[in-house]
Amino acid sequence: MLAAFANLSTPLVADACLRLKIPYRMAPTGLRPVMTGARTAGRVLPVRHYGSVDIFLEAMHAAQAGDVLVIDNQGRTDEACIGDLTVLEAKASSLAGMLVWGLHRDTTELIEIDFPVFSYGSVPSGPQRLAEREPEALHSAAVGAFTVSGEDVVFADNDGALFVAGKADLVQLIEVAQTIAQTERRQADMISSGKTLRDQLRFAEYLDKRAANAEYSFRDHLRTIGGSIEE
């Protein structure tokens, strides 16, 4: 999954989901990679944090190569729940990345480790608590207002993260995202060469048709001419 996502982006995947009518959920705004430009994609490996690193080690002990560790720390801003040792262990476990609904620390070391980590920021302090572990600790994780599990797939990059149910046709999803990417790249190249997007999308023709039929939408027009910027 990570290899397939290498030349794509979360906006392209989101557009492909819309075109295929595949539901998706987005992590709350503000999620960023520790290393600018980092990206990850893979099956969700969910875990809930209660104050101790052992829960992460247990999750990794049962992980498959290419999984993405998704950590539920309840969006807390009073502690960092991961640092360099946890990230090193994730890399050594052949995971594809790590996403935290919460904060990290050891930023300099994490950049040196060169492993995709996504969080909502950093603080110096680690946990000073030890809460009671729930039965679902290794089966599901909250990310904002929704819950994900090992039946979901995550895509993450500079724009944030989105989750898709693993039962979706992921091969088709990637193929459509690649097609959209190719079309938009051609459109961008033509703009750089002097052909405006309005000309490419026959915008004057659209305005004429809309004047004749108020129900004729821009999306109707794009579908007619094969445009890809909206769906």
Q: What does each C-alpha distance from 47 to 15, 73, 165, 168, 182 come to in angstroms?
A: 29, 9, 17, 23, 36
Matching residue, tokens 């944090």:
49
pLDDT at 184 over 80: yes
Neighbours of 112 (CB within 10 A): 11
pLDDT in tens, 131-179: 999 999 999 999 999 999 999 999 999 999 999 998 889 999 999 999 9
- Which percentage of the chain shows pLDDT scores above 70? 98
* Domains of the chain listed by start with CATH number: 2-172 (3.50.30.40), 196-231 (no CATH)
Q: How many residues does the chain have?
A: 231
What is the Cα–Cα distance from 134 to 117, expressed in whole angstroms? 25
- What integer is the mean pLDDT of 28-45? 97
Residue range 94-119: average pLDDT? 98
- Is 32 marked within a binding site? no
State both tokens at 116: 């995709």
Which tokens belong to 30? 């503000």
Residue 104: other Cβ atoms inside 10 A: 25
Question: Nearest CA to 142 among 231, 21, 25?
Answer: 25
pLDDT tens across 104-115, in order? Answer: 999 999 999 999
pLDDT value at residue 43: 97
pLDDT (0 to 100) of residue 223: 83
pLDDT confidence tier of residue 226, bands split at 50, 70 and 90: confident
Dmax (CA) of the chain: 67
Give me the mean pLDDT over the 3-23 stretch: 95
Residue 67 predicted with pLDDT over 90: yes
106 labelled binding-site residue? yes
Q: Look at residue 227 in the predicted model and tell me its pLDDT.
A: 61
Mean pLDDT of 6-18: 96
